[in-house]
C-alpha cells in the first residue's frame, strides 16, 4: 500500500518512485505548502510562489518523464540568485529588483524538470555565517531554535532540514553552504569554483563565489550538482571540469586531518571528541588517516576578511555603500567598510601572500586524496550573537574560509548526534575537479554512521526505502540482497554503487538460512546457505536496487563459490541475492548465531582487541 503523501520522504529517490506510481507534481506542490505551513516560520522565505502558479507549473510538465532527472522536484533558491518572475533582494529592501530571467543554474534545473517554489532568507549580501543579519527576521534553526541557523544561506538550509523541499540552492564564498548545513544536520555541497555558473547571482566576492547545494543525502546533492554543472561561455569564471560521475569509494583513501595541536574548538570538548570519533569511523572503513599541522590553512582563512578580499565585497555593493549606506545592515556595513581604508598596494600584497601560503599548503593537499575537517568548531546561540555579532561569526569560519581561496571543493556531511544530542558534521575537502571523489567517500560515511537527516525523522540510509523492510525498485531495476562485504561501508560496496545501485533498506531472511565465514579471500566473505530442513536462522541483509542493464557486468565479477540465486525474505518476499555452493561450506565456520555478517565482524574485532 502506498504511504500517504504527508509521510513521503522528500528525497529524489522517494519522489521518483512516487511519480512512477501515479502521484502528480501538482499534489506534491500542495504538500510543499502544507509542510511549510506546519513549520510556521515566516522568516524562511522572502518570496513564495502562489499555490496557483505552482500548480500551473506542475501541470505544464505533462506526463511523467523519467528521462528528465528532476521531473516534478520542488526546490528553493537563496534570494541572491535570480529566478524569473520573482524579486531578488539579497536581504536588502533598498537593493531589490524584479528578475526577468533565471540564473544560468536555475535554467538548467528547470530544464531537468525541477520547479522553484520561492526565494529564501539570507545574511544580507551573503556576508555572514550566522544567519541573523537580515532585516526580514531570522529563520529558526530546524533542530534547536536556541542555536543560530547558520548563514549566509540560512533559509535554504532550514527549508531542506525540515523536509519541505528535497534540495535548495545557496551560495558559498566563506562557508555559507557548509556552516548552515552542519548547524541543521544536512548535506552541504560546495562545488569546485567555476563548476556551476555564477551568472545571475548577486556577487559577494566575484572571484570566490559559487552556488552551493543543500540536500538531505549526498546522493541527492550530487545528482543536482551533475545537472547544474555546465560550462557557461557567458560567465568569465566558468570552467570545464572532469566528468562528475560518482565513482566507487576508494578501498583505502588517504585522508589528512589537523593534528591535535592545531585543532581549534573554542572550548567545545564535545565537538572535539565527536570529530575524533568520525576519524575512527573512517579508519575502520579502510582509510589511512594522517595528521598534520594546519597552521598554513588557518593563515589563508584569515585573509578572507582581514585581507584585501574584503574590497571585493565592497566592489559588489559600492553604489549602496556610497549613496545609501544606512540601507545596509549595520554589522554588514561595518565589515565591508573596512575596505575603505585599503589601497591597491594592499591588494597586491595580499595576492603575493596568498601565493606563498598556497605553496605552503600544496604538499599537504598533494599527499592526500582529501582532507577531513570539522565543519564548525563549536555551536553558538542566538543570544551569543546578540552579545557579540562578530567573534562567533569569525570562529564559525575556522574550517571553511580557506577553501575557495585555495581553489578546493568541499562537502559537509552529517555524522549523527554528538554526545549532547547536537548534530555532528565533518567536511571532506579536495582539490578542484574532485567533487565526485569526495561525494563517494561522504556517501559511504553516511551509510556507515546512519545520521538523522535534519529534522525530518529520517535516517540515512533508511531514507532511501519507501517503507520499512519493503523494497521498491523502479521498472528498470531489480532488487538484490547482499549479506557480506557488499553491504554499506564494507570493502566491496563500491561494486554496487559504481553501477548505479541504490540502498533500499535493511531486511532479514526467512528463518531458514545459515551463514558461514568462508576460508581464504581478501576481503573476508560470508556464505549464505538455505537449510535443508528449513529450520535455520533469520540472517541480516541489505536490499539494493540495481539497474537491470548493469546486472550482467555485476554477475561476471562474482567469484566461486558464490552465485546469485533466490532468497526468501522474512516477510515472504523473494529477491535475488548471494548464495554459496554447498561444497565450500565443509571447511567454513558456521556464524549464524551472530545474526549476520556485521555481528560476526564486531565480535571478531572485540576478540582481537582483547588478545
Residues 354 and 441 in one domain: yes
Q: Positive or negative CA dihedral for 387, 389, 394, 396?
A: positive
Query: What are the residue numbers of the active site?
Result: 78, 152, 176
Angle at 6 between CA 3 and CA 12, to 5 degrees: 80
Q: What is the pTM of this model?
A: 0.79
State the cell numbers at 460.
540515512
Query: Which residues are 530's β-sheet partners?
Result: 513
CA proximity to 210, closest of 246, 239, 250: 239
Residues 477 and 570 in one domain: yes
Residues 92 and 148 in one domain: yes
CATH of the domain at 174: 3.90.1300.10
Tell me, what's the pLDDT at 534? Answer: 67
Residues 159 and 294 in one domain: yes
Distance between CA atoms of 434 and 255, rounded to whole angstroms? 14
Strand, coil or helix: 328: coil
Residues 451 and 493 in one domain: no
User: Tens digit of pLDDT for each residue in 69-79?
Assistant: 999 999 999 99
Residues 253 and 334 in one domain: yes
Q: Positive or negative CA dihedral for 499, 210, 201, 156?
A: positive
State which H helix or E strand residue 507 sits in. strand 502-508
Answer whether the bond into residue 461 is a cis peptide, omega within 30°: yes
- C-alpha distance from residue 472 to each of 1, 146, 469, 476, 575 (Å): 11, 39, 10, 11, 11
State the cell numbers at 49.
510562489
417 close to 374: Cβ distance less than 8 angstroms: no
Which structural domain, as residue segments, surrounds residue 399?
Answer: 5-462
| Distance, CA of 149 to chain centre | 17
Residues 454 and 343 in one domain: yes
Tell me, what's the pLDDT at 606? Answer: 53
Tell me, what's the pLDDT at 468? Answer: 36
State the cell numbers at 322.
556610497
Mean pLDDT per segment of 10 residues, for the chain of length 611 residues?
Answer: 78 90 96 98 98 96 93 98 98 97 98 98 97 97 98 98 98 97 98 98 96 96 96 96 82 94 97 96 92 97 89 92 93 92 93 96 97 98 96 97 98 96 97 95 90 90 44 71 85 81 80 90 84 83 86 86 88 84 89 88 61 49
Distance between CA atoms of 178 and 171, rounded to whole angstroms? 10
Residues 508 and 546 in one domain: yes
CA proximity to 226, closest of 182, 189, 176: 189
CATH of the domain at 548: 3.10.490.10
Rg of the chain over CA atoms, in angstroms? 25
Mark which of 421, 441, 462 sits at the end of a domain. 462
Residues 430 and 498 in one domain: no
State which H helix or E strand residue 563 sits in. strand 562-568
Number of domains, the chain: 2
Residue 395 CB contacts under 8 Å (≥ 6 apart), including other chains:
266, 377, 378, 380
Mark which of 438, 462, 486 sits at the end of a domain. 462
Residue 19 CB contacts under 8 Å (≥ 6 apart), including other chains:
25, 64, 66, 71, 72
- C-alpha distance from residue 376 to each of 184, 191, 327, 372, 527 (Å): 12, 18, 31, 12, 43
Mark which of 431, 462, 493 sits at the end of a domain. 462
User: Tens digit of pLDDT for each residue in 432-476?
Assistant: 999 999 999 999 899 888 899 999 998 865 454 433 333 356 667
Residues 413 and 523 in one domain: no
Residues 293 and 389 in one domain: yes
Residues 116 and 207 in one domain: yes
Tell me, what's the pLDDT at 545? Answer: 85
Amino acid at each position: 500500500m502506498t504511504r500517504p503523501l504527508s509521510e513521503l520522504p522528500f528525497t529524489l529517490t522517494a519522489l521518483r518512485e512516487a511519480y512512477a506510481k501515479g502521484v502528480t507534481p501538482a499534489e506534491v506542490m500542495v504538500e510543499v505548502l502544507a509542510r511549510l505551513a506546519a513549520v510556521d516560520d515566516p522568516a524562511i522565505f522572502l518570496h513564495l510562489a502562489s499555490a496557483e502558479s505552482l500548480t500551473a507549473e506542475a501541470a505544464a510538465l505533462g506526463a511523467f518523464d523519467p528521462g528528465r532527472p528532476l521531473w516534478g522536484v520542488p526546490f528553493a533558491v537563496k534570494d541572491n540568485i535570480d529566478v524569473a518572475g520573482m524579486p531578488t533582494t539579497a536581504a536588502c529592501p533598498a537593493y531589490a529588483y524584479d528578475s526577468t530571467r533565471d540564473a544560468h543554474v536555475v535554467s538548467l534545473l528547470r530544464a531537468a524538470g525541477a520547479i522553484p517554489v520561492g526565494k529564501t532568507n539570507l545574511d544580507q549580501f551573503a556576508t555572514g555565517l550566522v544567519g541573523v543579519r537580515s532585516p526580514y527576521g531570522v529563520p529558526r534553526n530546524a533542530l534547536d531554535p536556541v542555536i543560530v541557523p547558520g548563514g549566509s544561506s540560512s533559509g535554504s538550509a532550514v527549508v531542506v532540514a525540515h523536509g519541505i523541499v528535497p534540495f535548495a540552492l545557496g551560495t558559498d564564498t566563506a562557508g555559507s553552504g557548509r556552516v548552515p548545513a552542519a548547524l541543521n544536520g544536512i548535506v552541504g555541497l560546495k562545488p569546485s569554483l567555476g563548476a556551476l555558473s555564477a551568472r545571475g547571482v548577486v556577487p559577494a566576492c566575484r572571484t570566490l563565489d559559487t552556488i552551493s547545494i543543500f540536500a538531505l543525502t549526498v546522493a541527492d546533492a550530487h545528482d543536482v550538482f551533475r545537472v547544474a554543472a555546465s560550462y557557461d561561455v557567458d560567465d568569465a569564471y566558468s570552467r570545464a571540469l572532469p566528468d562528475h560521475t560518482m565513482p566507487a569509494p576508494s578501498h583505502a583513501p588517504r585522508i589528512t586531518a589537523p593534528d591535535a595541536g592545531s585543532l581549534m574548538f573554542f572550548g567545545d570538548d564535545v565537538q572535539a571528541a565527536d570529530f575524533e570519533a568520525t576519524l575512527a569511523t573512517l579508519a575502520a572503513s579502510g582509510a589511512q588517516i594522517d595528521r598534520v599541522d594546519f597552521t598554513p590553512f588557518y593563515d589563508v582563512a584569515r585573509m578572507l576578511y582581514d585581507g584585501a578580499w574584503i574590497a571585493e565585497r565592497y566592489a559588489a555593493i559600492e553604489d549602496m555603500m556610497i549613496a545609501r549606506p544606512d540601507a545596509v545592515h549595520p554589522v554588514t556595513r561595518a565589515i565591508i567598510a573596512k575596505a575603505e581604508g585599503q589601497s591597491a598596494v594592499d591588494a597586491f600584497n595580499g595576492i603575493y601572500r596568498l601565493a606563498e601560503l598556497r605553496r605552503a599548503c600544496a604538499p599537504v593537499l598533494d599527499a592526500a586524496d582529501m582532507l577531513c575537517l570539522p565543519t564548525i568548531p563549536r555551536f553558538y546561540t542566538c543570544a551569543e550573537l546578540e552579545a557579540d555579532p562578530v567573534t562567533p561569526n569569525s570562529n564559525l569560519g575556522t574550517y571553511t574560509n580557506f577553501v575557495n581561496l585555495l581553489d578546493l571543493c568541499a562537502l559537509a556531511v552529517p555524522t549523527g548526534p554528538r554526545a549532547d544530542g547536537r548534530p555532528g558534521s565533518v567536511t571532506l575537502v579536495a582539490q578542484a575537479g574532485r567533487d565526485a571523489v569526495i561525494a563517494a567517500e561522504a556517501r559511504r560515511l553516511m551509510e556507515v554512521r546512519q545520521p538523522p537527516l535534519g529534522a525530518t525523522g529520517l535516517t540515512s540510509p533508511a531514507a532511501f526505502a519507501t517503507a520499512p523492510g519493503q523494497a521498491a525498485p523502479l521498472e528498470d531495476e531489480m532488487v538484490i540482497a547482499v549479506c557480506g562485504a557488499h553491504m554499506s561501508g564494507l570493502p566491496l560496496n563500491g561494486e554496487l554503487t559504481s553501477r548505479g545501485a541504490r540502498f533500499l533498506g535493511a531486511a532479514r531472511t526467512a528463518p531458514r538460512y545459515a551463514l558461514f565465514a568462508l576460508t581464504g579471500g581478501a576481503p573476508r566473505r560470508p556464505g549464505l546457505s538455505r537449510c535443508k530442513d528449513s529450520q535455520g536462522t533469520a540472517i541480516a541483509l541489505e536490499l539494493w536496487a540495481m539497474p537491470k542493464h548493469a546486472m550482467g557486468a555485476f554477475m561476471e565479477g562474482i567469484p566461486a563459490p558464490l552465485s546469485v540465486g533466490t532468497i526468501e525474505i522474512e516477510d515472504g518476499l523473494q529477491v535475488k541475492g548471494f548464495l554459496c555452493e554447498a561444497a565450500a561450506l565443509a571447511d567454513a565456520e558456521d556464524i549464524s548465531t551472530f545474526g549476520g555478517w556485521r555481528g560476526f565482524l564486531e565480535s571478531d574485532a572485540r576478540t582481537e582487541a582483547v588478545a
